[in-house]
Structure 1
Amino acid sequence: MTTNPIILQRADPQILLHSDNRYYFIASVPEYDRIELRRADSITELATTADIVTVWHKPDSGPASDLIWAPEIHHIFGHWVIYFAAAPNREIFNDAFQHRMYALTCHDEDPISGKWTFAGQVDSGIDTFCLDATVFTHQQQHYYVWAQKHPVHKGNSCLYIATLADATTLNSQPVMISRPEFEWEIKGFWVNEGPAVIIRNGKIFISYSASATDERYCLGLLWAGEHENLLDPKAWHKGPRPVFASRPEADIYGPGHNSFTRDREHTKDYLVYHARNYTDIQGDPLWDPNRHTCVQTFHWDEQGFPVFGEPQPEMNDD
């Protein structure tokens, strides 16, 4: 078995199994100054023999010149796109949390050797702090899901959904589908963020992260029926309890900001997430570099819902 964590100091991890049957890995780097991309033939090789390239480095000034967070790579509308959150330079604006969503695009077949171009802001139409975008396709419609501060509701971020006209342009008004409300979603900060989508068993599931980014960080779950109008907030249901949380007896704390992937035979589903192995964080948890990438299998219950269990010290790849 492969031991967790599989990649050190990589928070907000995403692993994509592409149609070329290779794995692509992307995550926040501790310096928050660039976007790295890895590719390998297996999940475990992402940590050992992967091709690693820096596809973009932040500029010294401008709206996307600081705190590069939570990139995600997707192949959509016939080309590659990386979504990421960025803020203006703190030394100029004296405020660390003015993030908006941006995108890079690559029209070459190979995203490792191909040319990446800064495509500008992905404008939600709401001029507030936002981050953590992902995309999915359902019934030939492309959807964009992200976290953003609501202009009125209390909290740091809520979850929104919209359709896409192209990879960087929304085609519908943003619809809020979840906001922090339960006790486990408002510890330290009122947060719903880091959405990740998996479609199975007649449902669209969205996992998300809640509370502060220390040991209180955890995963919640939303779901909607596959025939529902996904732009209708009433189509979405929220579980009343976290579905994945810290496991002190295994020294795994604050598991969150996950993504989903599969084995190459499509027989196993994997939960990809970050976690720390201690709670004694000096200062703001965002500046602690030791959120590590972990991977483990999960299964499905008789009702067709994902069962993540508890954070495990092994990937369970045998």
Structure 2
Amino acid sequence: MDLTLLYRGPLASCDYDCPYCPFAKRRDTPGQLRADRAALERFTDWAAARTEDGLSVLFTPWGEGLVRSWYRRAVVRLSRLPHVRRVAVQTNLSCRTDWLSEADPDTVALWCTYHPGQTPYDRFLAKTHDLAARGVRFSVGVVGLPEHLEHARRLRADLPARVYLWVNAAEGHTYTDEEAAPWTALDPLFPYSRHPHRSAGLPCRTGESVVSVDGDGTVRRCHFVRAELGNLYDDSFRTALRPRACPLASCDCHIGYVHLETLPLYDVFAGGVLERIPADVPSADLPVLLDAPRRS
């Protein structure tokens, strides 16, 4: 079986204090960190033992995982397993990058977010160039707030041309066509993020070939649908895997709507769905989605 797992353990602490994030500068207690470490190691052990499956893993922690040694070890370990096709992680890239020399560059990938004001620009940029020099697959993105536009333009100019710069529509922010234009000039795929996507009753790969897993091993179809499919560790989830329609009215997060079968994003991101890397450098003549409702 080919299976994609989005893992989110109990870790909720972050070393940044972004004003648009509810987990900014949150501190986990030592006990909470121990529990997160144990949960991640249990998950990694499970993945290592599932040699009969082809696995792809995306770590989507609420906090910043790669500043924790157990996340770095998990990424390295999984990347070196022959039945793991991809292991990717969302990160603010505040961690060092030398540990990636131990990972398999053909399997590991990073989804990096630049947060202006949280880290010196030159430090962040230097790390992206180090990733490129190491041959690590990665994308870089920003939240599309007006005050981030000039930072994003500078970043696009300084990143290697082959590195995709993505832009996430800011939560609760409505973009006029005029406001969206400069973001689309930077990221021709921004129209997919600009509007939420109608999803009710539409086919989605989540719940069939893509699932969400929490620290206790509870399996759900995705992070945004709370209904449980079973548990990872007793294999009870497998009998629930099947094609199914989305029960929600709309989906406005990339890690959710990328799996909608009504969108062409598996073709757009072929080979890089988890790390958000398009198959080809996106161009400005990509079609805009006209059927998506505007954000309210």
TM-score (norm 2): 0.31
Structure in which a larger fraction of residues adopt strand: 1
